[in-house]
Amino acid sequence: MASKSRISPLFIIFIAISPFAFLGHGEFDDYSGVIPSEPVDIMSPAPTPEPVRSRDQRRISPLVPAMFIFGDSLFDNGNNNKLHSLARADYYPYGIDFEGGKSTGRFSNGYTMVDEIASQLGLPLVPAHTEAAGDKIRHGVNFASAAAGILDNTGRNFLGRIPFNQQLNHFEGSLRQFAQILGEDDTPQILSKSIFFVGMGSNDYLNNYLMPNYNTRHLYNAKQFADLLIKQYTQQLTRLYNLGARKFIVVGLGELGCIPTMLARNETGGCLTDVNNLVLPFSMKSRKMIFNLSASLPNSKFTYIDTLALNKALNQNPQASGFTVTKEACCGIGRNKGQITCLPFQTPCSNRSQYVFWDAFHPTEAANKLFAGRAFNGDKDVAYPLNIKQLVKL
């Protein structure tokens, strides 16, 4: 059962560059150099993850021309690798179960949610924007960046990151390149049939509102901050529409108070209900935002993935989903393995397919695959008003 406790400022500075870049001691509130940026959110039934495999061997005929990805560290696949950033995951054991055991910059032991969605769409791995060139962009580009937020100043404690507005600038700057490869006349039609995946907002709470060196919480209460985010988010999604997007997948926030870094702050081991309640207005308003955008933007189609519903379903009966460890990270240090995130060359757990969380904030590949599967085929309690499979048929 969730235990209510008072919100105190979090100082979450991710040490993701080298083993000597950190070290904290004492109680958790004293750690000031420790964690990758965001939360996680998961779901149900758990297949055994494939260890090392070639994606091309399991690809089907593409259901859409391309997928374009915007978001934070839950979806970043290497864009932060070349930044002067503390929010990076380009070191072992990150990627231990990825193809060839390579640390690509994904904040997981293997695939992210968007990797698995691309697979189900029949697409190859979508390249990071920093690596996308020439024909590589034919099937889409991933613009996501760890520590990024809806607000430009979110995540500044991590130094380098690419906020959503800048991700949109990168997409706009790539349109000429798309036109050269796909053909000037064909590009608008191809974009209208492609999937635009957007997952933002976690860092605006974890690495902005709850940060002691930000004054955000002194300027806005929970409802006012949610209104601020939704207003900006609406403008950003509308801009993406004006740049040619028509089919949107927007991922909501989950129970941020139930991730290992938050559980570690509660001596009873329960979720921080104050944190969950803080983000609830944003979650409620996000769903309404999707309805309003669908009504106001001609020929647009939006799917909202309700991560909060996925989290709650999983937490109520994790064994039914194949998970045996739900409150502890596979790789990390301290209480719940969530006080210090997964360090370079640290030995992770061996039964990774039974863990929901890979590190203090992010899901394992098993959880990512399950989340993707529910988003792709789930009912309206999870994917509203359409699941991804239904969306691509429109």
Active site residues: 73, 359, 362
Task: Give the angle subtended at the CA of 142 by the CAs of 138 and 144, to the nearest 5°.
Answer: 165
Q: Which residues contact 102 (CB under 8 A, 6 or more apart)?
A: 95
Q: Pick the closest to residue 358 from 312, 317, 325 (CA basis).
A: 325
195-199 and 340-341 strand pairing: unpaired
Between the alpha carbon of residue 85 and those of residues 48, 145, 146, 169, the distances in Å are: 33, 10, 9, 20
CB burial of residue 218 (10 Å; 0-12, 13-18, 19+)? exposed
Tokens of 109: 């032991």
Tokens of 215: 């004054």
User: Is 25:33 a contact under the CB 8 Å cutoff?
Assistant: no
User: Is 363:263 a contact under the CB 8 Å cutoff?
Assistant: no
User: Is 37:207 a contact under the CB 8 Å cutoff?
Assistant: yes
